[in-house]
Amino acid sequence: MIKEIVLATENRHKEEEIKSILKDLDIEIVPMTSFPDYPTMIEEGATLEENASNKARKVAEFFKKWTIADDSGLEVDYLNGRPGIYSARYAGENCSYDDNNKKLLAELRDVPEEKRTANFRTVVAVASPAGRLFLADGKIFGTIKKHTAGTAGFGYDPVFYVPEYEKTFAELGCEIKNSLSHRAKALQKVKKIIKSLSNSQLSF
């Protein structure tokens, strides 16, 4: 039975979002930052899958506890999939969310609406202390606005427009976003994985 799982992220906004989506699980979600020491997270993988897997395994081995880690990326078709795995640091190391959005909008300044298609993709890894690994992914399609809109959310939420709702993620608000986002879709699969593992008699 899994009673506790460590969340491998230093991003407070992501931590809050993941804990909110997984709140109905009968498991304590413990941020790794709540421990006095924790390993440094370095994303050196070539894919979202590699980054999520490496982070989850590293933290699971360090704390000897089940661990969840994710990696997410905004993939813009006109930019051949950029920023992708570099989404968090698109404007450079230690850049702000605003820096990233400004760079993205500048690159798409003269691009017409019909060519501003994009998707958000998330891969979530669940790792056991013994090295077992389970992956889940989620994706949502949309377009990139020509200007920011909305104040909720974080990251690229103010520029990622969801046609079905005619609003950006930042305009939708956290409750609606967390019901349909790329991360929400991946974490719904994670819920099934965790419930299955908790009901299993196998040792992981």
* 14 labelled ligand-binding: yes
Q: Is 92 exposed, middle or buried (0-12, 13-18, 19+ CB in 10 A)?
A: exposed
* 199 labelled ligand-binding: no
- Known active-site residue 137: no
* 101 labelled ligand-binding: no
Give the active site residue among 24, 70, 71, 110.
71
Q: How far apart are CA 203 and CA 129, in angstroms?
A: 11
What is the rounded end-to-end Cα distance, in angstroms, of the chain? 10
* 147 labelled ligand-binding: no
* 9 labelled ligand-binding: yes
* 11 labelled ligand-binding: yes
* 103 labelled ligand-binding: no
Please give the structure tokens belonging to residue 47: 């894919």
Partners of 119 in the β-ladder = 75, 141
* 72 labelled ligand-binding: yes
CB 184 within 8 A of CB 123: no
Q: If you search the block for the tokens 């969310």, which residue do you land on?
A: 97
* 24 labelled ligand-binding: no
Residue (of 150, 148, 188) closest to 172 by Cα position: 150
Known binding-site positions for substrate: 9-14, 72, 154-157, 177, 182-183
Residue ranges for the known binding site for Mg(2+) are 71
Residues placed in the known binding site = 9-14, 71-72, 154-157, 177, 182-183
Which residues carry out catalysis?
Answer: 71
